[in-house]
Amino acid sequence: TLVGNLTGRISLMTDPAPDGRQRIDGVLTLTTADGPVEIRLAGYATATDGTYAMSGVFRATTDLPLVDSGSFSGSFGSSLRLSLND
């Protein structure tokens, strides 16, 4: 678990895929006491009642001893929940 301040963006493509999912991409920066972590996201999201469930792949850039790529899952709406998996 990392604790810090999160900034960045997640973009949602307006044209859905044939299965109804929307393509997402994002760049997030987590600033921790030990240094910054930049996380790039690419995947798909589906909307339910104003909340988007999302999943895809990520790549992280940092000098911290963390995994640098893998898959992610989570949701966003009024808040962001994100789990990174190697």
For residue 47, CA distances in Å to 5, 17, 23, 54 come to 26, 13, 12, 9
Q: Please provide the average confidence, as pLDDT, over all residues in the chain.
A: 91
Identify the pLDDT of residue 42: 97
Whether the Cβ atoms of residue 32 and residue 3 lie closer than 8 Å to each other: yes
Whether the Cβ atoms of residue 26 and residue 10 lie closer than 8 Å to each other: yes
* Number of Cα atoms under 13 Å in the Cβ half of residue 60: 21
| Model pLDDT for residues 20-50, shown as the tens digit of each residue | 899 999 999 999 999 999 999 999 999 888 8
Query: Model-level pTM?
Result: 0.86
- For 83, the token pair is 């789990």
